[in-house]
Amino acid sequence: MKLESLKELFVHELQDLYSAENQIIKALPKMADKASSPELKSALQEHLQETKGQLRRLDQIFDQIQDVDRDDEKCKGIEGIIKEGSDMLGEDADADVLDAGIIAAAQRVEHYEIAAYGTVRTYANLLGKQNWAELLQQTLSEEKAADQKLNALAEHINMEAQAA
């Protein structure tokens, strides 16, 4: 891979996100399965549906870029975050404590995505690709909303974990 221009760095970051979203689509159902709180379970399931749409937005952008393999990168950051989360899902845990841990893992995922989407949205603007910037901003807003939702759920779930 050569990185001789901002455009090439943009493509590299976009491929990283493409890999990240694909990994998240596989991980979210497992997290939702293990969640005991119905609100947490449905928040994770809703974000799974949203994530599938986010992948389609990336596809829309890749469709407009010539000679690039969208599957060319593996996001090792998300791979590590998901691995930490899945190790935790295997622990023998109190249901409320496990829910608090699932939120902690899910928020790490969201924060990684928020950082990455902010970057590619800004690069798209610099590259004069307004329509790409808009697509990426839509996803960025969804990731931020998902993070806020998890914050709100943590407020009572952490209390229940503390009482366990």
Q: Residues touching Fe ion: how many (CB under 5 A)?
A: 6
Q: Considering only the stretches 35-43, 70-78, 83-91, 128-136, report the one whose residues sit in contact with Fe ion under the rule CB under 5 A.
A: 70-78
Residues 6+ apart with CB under 8 A from 109: 24, 27, 78, 81, 82, 85
Distance of CA 51 to the CA centre of its chain: 7
Q: Binding partner of residue 54 among Zn ion, Fe ion, none, CB under 5 to 8 Å per kind? A: Fe ion
Q: Which is nearer to Fe ion, 34 or 57 (CB)?
A: 57
**Interface with Fe ion includes 106 (CB under 5 A)?**
no
**Interface with Zn ion includes 143 (CB under 5 A)?**
yes
- DSSP state at residue 5: S
Residues 6+ apart with CB under 8 A from 28: 44, 45, 47, 48, 51
For binding to Zn ion (CB under 5 A), which residues are involved? 113, 143
The site for Fe ion (CB under 5 A) is made up of: 16, 51, 54, 75, 77, 113
